Amino acid sequence: MILLLGASGAFDIRAQTTESVGVLDPPPARKAQKLKMPKYGGDVLDFADLNFDYKIEPVRSPAPFSGFALEFSLPNRDLVFETRDDRIESYLDIFVRVRKRDGTGGGNFEERLLIGFNKSDEEAVMKTVTIYRKLFELPAGTYKIDIAVRDRRSGNRGIRSTNFEVPK
């Protein structure tokens, strides 16, 4: 799935946001090796030559849905954009791995995100952040999540890992 983010005309918003529902596929995923995802063993991992902020929130919707929302943001100035005609574009590889606290169950999610803007908005774009939000359905329980984001043009990546709970 490729999502195109952008604006036309005057650019006066602070962030460009996308939100959709993601599906966790059964493990394993090959891209985890390419992104050098961590092996299980520690509680928290924080590595970045591409820095991003993230948050995980429980989501309760009409029964029987339960799950979590993953949101992360990163400054556009940290991405490498390429000019194509009258557009500037950058690609992010996103990989999410979720497991139960004991390392079993869960699944993986992968997506390539195209971030594109009009060339005329470049100066304003570099002063803003891109916000990515994805909803995942997951049974109640305690989980560990690994999030890897890679700028395809520079090869820079950031990896975050933490524990979270989906309430009943």
Bridge partners for 40 per DSSP: 42
Can you read off the two tokens belonging to residue 59?
């989501």
pTM attached to this predicted model: 0.73
pLDDT digits (tens), the chain, 168 positions:
222 233 332 222 233 344 455 555 554 444 444 445 544 444 444 556 888 899 999 887 666 668 889 999 999 999 999 999 999 999 999 999 998 888 787 888 899 999 999 999 999 999 999 999 988 888 888 999 999 999 999 989 888 889 999 888
- CATH 2.60.40 assigned to domain 15-28+42-166? The reply is yes
Distance CA 80, CA 154 (A): 6
Residue 27 DSSP code: S
- Residues 162, 56: contact at Cβ < 8 Å? yes
Residues comprising the chain, all counted: 168
Can you read off the two tokens belonging to residue 67?
């799950």
Nearest to 83 by CA among 118, 55, 57, 58: 118
